[in-house]
Amino acid sequence: MTDAPTPPTRRRIGEIDFTVMPLAEAISFVLQASHDVTTLGHPGLAVHFCNAYNVALARSDRSYANLLANADVVFSDGVPITWVGRRAYPDLTDRWERVYGPDVMRGVLDAPDGLAHYLLGGSQETLEALQQRITEEHPAARIVGAESPPFRPASYGELQERNRRIADSGASIVWVGLGTPKQDAEVQRLASSLPVVAMAVGAAFDFLAGTKAQAPVWMQRSGTEWAFRLASEPRRLGKRYVWGNSVFAVEAARTVRSVKART
């Protein structure tokens, strides 16, 4: 992945170097990268979407921090990331936008040139609903493969078979919804193995498929989307948000102090 397209600007929050660009530019960047890997022979590209929880996880888990240190692109998936970024790096205030995984997925699927997409993750029911929604709402997009892998770790042989299926499908973009941190490791593995843009989009499969409710726009914009998701899935997400938000608050303050001290 050494020759992957170079993002224009990267700035650190906590242990993560974020790629800073507006949403529309991020969608164009992904579309250009998908063209480059399939027609120009560029290496694969790993794209991550990180929020407050990812920042907290990178602080507590050194292996995860090291994984993201080798990331090609890390977009700002959460509004609090943009708040901290603009506070710490005021020269980027106009460019540091939320680049939300579901929004990027919708924008890329809307591309008129019929890109080939592969869906990896989610339940079989979610994948079927997602493919139906894509057919209805993004008719130019071509879904050339979809698979719901088992929850257990895949063997080496299974991963090689997965690579073969994706390569044979002709996909230029692989959407990965396996949950954090598993999906982050998988997009890097795929991008290092195949000429594809691999994107770790988390809950985007459920949101676009309509199998889980998405927070109202006002909550997304106000940075309170986490509260909506917590209310929707308290048992699964309770520890994540209570712990993650507190650690992120410390990381945010540390980042702002550190940057201010250097300027």
The pLDDT tens digits of the residues spanning 134-170 come to 999 999 999 999 999 988 889 999 999 999 999 999 9
According to the model, what pLDDT value does residue 241 have?
Answer: 78
* DSSP H or E segment with residue 146: strand 142-147
Average pLDDT over residues 232-255: 87
pLDDT class for 225, splitting at 50, 70, 90? confident
pTM given for the model: 0.91
Is the N-terminal amide bond of 181 cis, ω within 30° of 0?
yes
- The per-residue pLDDT for range 116-139, each reduced to its tens digit, is 999 999 999 999 999 999 999 999
Categorise residue 39: left if φ over 0, alpha if ψ from -120 to 50, beta otherwise: alpha
Average pLDDT over residues 81-98: 97
Phi and psi of 15, rounded to 5°?
Answer: -100, 5
According to the model, what pLDDT value does residue 158 have?
Answer: 96
According to the model, what pLDDT value does residue 181 have?
Answer: 95
According to the model, what pLDDT value does residue 23 have?
Answer: 97
Phi and psi of 148, rounded to 5°?
Answer: -110, 95
Beta bridge partners of 119: 146, 175
- Choose among 102, 98, 79: nearest CA to 219: 79
* DSSP H or E segment with residue 31: helix 23-39
CB 177 within 8 A of CB 211: no
> Which residues are CB-neighbours of 92 under 8 A, at least 6 positions away?
9, 11, 20, 85, 86
Report the C-alpha gap between 219 and 224 in whole angstroms: 5
For residue 68, pLDDT over 50 is answered with yes
According to the model, what pLDDT value does residue 1 have?
Answer: 43
Categorise residue 87: left if φ over 0, alpha if ψ from -120 to 50, beta otherwise: alpha
pLDDT class for 79, splitting at 50, 70, 90? very high
CA–CA distance from 28 to each of 7, 23, 41, 167, 251 (Å)?
12, 9, 19, 24, 31
Report the C-alpha gap between 40 and 37 in whole angstroms: 6
